[in-house]
Amino acid sequence: MNQIKKLLIIGFVWPEPNSSAAGGRMMQLISIFKQNGFEITFASAAQDSDFMVDLSEFGVIKKSIELNSSSFDDFVLELNPDVVLFDRFMIEEQFGWRVVEKCPNAIRILDTEDLHCLRTARQKAFKENRTFEIQDLLSEEVAKREIASILRCDLSLIISDFEMNILKNVFRINEDLLFYLPFLVDEMKEEELSNLPSFNERKNFVFIGNFLHEPNWNTVQHLKEAIWPSIKKDFPEAVLEVYGAYPSQKVLQLHQPKNGFYIMGRAEDANEIVKKSRVVLAPIRFGAGLKGKLLEAMQCGTPSITTSIGSEAMHEDLSWNGFIEDNPAEFAKKAIALYQDENLWKQSQKNGIRIINQCYQKKDYSDKLISLTNSLLADSKSHRLHNFMGNLLQHHAYKSTMYMSKWIEEKNK
């Protein structure tokens, strides 16, 4: 009889699939491992939130843990997981050495979410009013930490093929340590569009994004200052509804109903809101990874306009479900055209379905992930032997992080 395999996920936060794409991504990973018979424990040092998912409903054990505390050592030793999945590199830095010390045979997987060093370097270039260059990554402080974390793990899940290319060609990371895993959704048929609200049943432009994420706040500022005035001038009846979890005071201050610019706050059901909207606006100026809001728009049959950064790595060579435009004046013109032209709108909807079916099929990736995990479980020794740089980093980081953590723990007593 096959022994049930145990997966420990160490979360940066508790999953909030209705608040962010990262929360949705985590639930997709939980679903894949659950369907393949893994017993899952989700541990986090984060505070509980009002919007976190009830993990017990998904058959997942919830465990609160502490940072810089040997209580984690006792917990992980007793659990003795076969696989440990770190949610973002900062979590691997915190807990990786403890996992190695107490459960050396456990397979260590890193879910990067997106490349933090890419997002940080782009944001820096944007704020310094210069063009981002790939070589900026090589001097980025966070890159040294993030790449070290990827090298220390047995496998890292990479959400964007653009980021896969950076890791392989700029940082020279061995392909055996990387697995391309985009967002995963079910196939969608064109006929399903008839079940969604029609062109005439929809109204308003919409933007949705978690405001704890700096690129989203910047996008809303850009909409308000550079794009919305042009849309409003040529299309006076236009209304934009901006939704997002955790809006700060500076976000709420942009609320201007007389100008058709509404800050709506948290979306109770983002899906329903996007389905009732006619066009998604997402003029994203910096960031990394894939944009969950744009994939969600496609699933809701809602065309979108975004930038080259927004659409990066999202559609292979397929036509976008709307427009990709970096120039604010052109962005505004195309937004109005997409909103008013029913034929263009319907064609954009169909483009979205093609993108979903070619780029994000669950069946194309989930079996490969499980198969790769099982082959690592069967022969981790050989895999690790060939990852000399990872072993070297493990050796040094293990010592430095361990002593720093033990020092903090003593200090906290």
Provide the pLDDT for residue 354.
97
Q: What domain count does the chain have? A: 2
The three-state secondary structure class of 204 is coil
1 lies in some domain: no
215 and 251 share a domain? yes
Closest CA to 110 of 67, 48, 167: 167
36 lies in some domain: yes
Provide the pLDDT for residue 64.
98
Closest CA to 244 of 214, 208, 280: 208
49 lies in some domain: yes
345 lies in some domain: yes
Which residues are CB-contacts of 21 (< 8 A; sequence separation ≥ 6)? 183, 289, 290, 291, 292, 293
255 and 140 share a domain? no
17 and 93 share a domain? yes
Averaged over successive runs of 10 residues, the pLDDT of the chain (413 residues) comes to: 86 92 94 97 96 96 95 97 97 94 97 96 96 95 95 97 97 97 94 96 96 94 97 98 93 96 94 97 96 96 98 97 98 98 98 97 94 96 88 74 76 79
> Number of H helices and number of E strands within the chain?
17, 13
153 and 251 share a domain? no
166 and 224 share a domain? no
218 lies in some domain: yes
12 and 155 share a domain? yes
21 lies in some domain: yes
Provide the pLDDT for residue 408.
80
Antiparallel, parallel or unpaired: β 6-11 and 39-44: parallel
Provide the pLDDT for residue 193.
93
400 and 334 share a domain? no
- What is the separation of C-alpha 28 from the centre of its chain, rounded to a whole number of angstroms? 11
298 and 376 share a domain? no
Provide the pLDDT for residue 1.
44
107 lies in some domain: yes
Instruction: Please identify, among 359, 381, 403, the residue that sits at the C-terminal boundary of a domain.
Output: 359
Provide the pLDDT for residue 412.
82
Which tokens is 330 given?
């052109």
219 lies in some domain: yes
372 and 248 share a domain? no
366: CATH: 3.40.50.2000
State the residue for tokens 């001038």: 233
205 and 139 share a domain? no
- Opening angle at CA 383, ends 382 and 388, nearest 5: 100
14 and 148 share a domain? yes
Provide the pLDDT for residue 25.
95
The boundaries of the domain holding residue 296 are 190-359
Instruction: Please identify, among 359, 379, 398, the residue that sits at the C-terminal boundary of a domain.
Output: 359
Which residues are CB-contacts of 387 (< 8 A; sequence separation ≥ 6)? 151, 154, 174, 176, 177
- What is the separation of C-alpha 126 from the centre of its chain, rounded to a whole number of angstroms? 21
Closest CA to 356 of 288, 290, 299: 299
How far apart CA 130 and CA 124 sit, in angstroms, is 9
Antiparallel, parallel or unpaired: β 261-265 and 304-306: unpaired
236 and 342 share a domain? yes
- 85 and 60 in contact (C-beta within 8 Å)? no
Instruction: Please identify, among 359, 374, 402, the residue that sits at the C-terminal boundary of a domain.
Output: 359
How far apart CA 397 and CA 346 sit, in angstroms, is 54
Provide the pLDDT for residue 2.
62
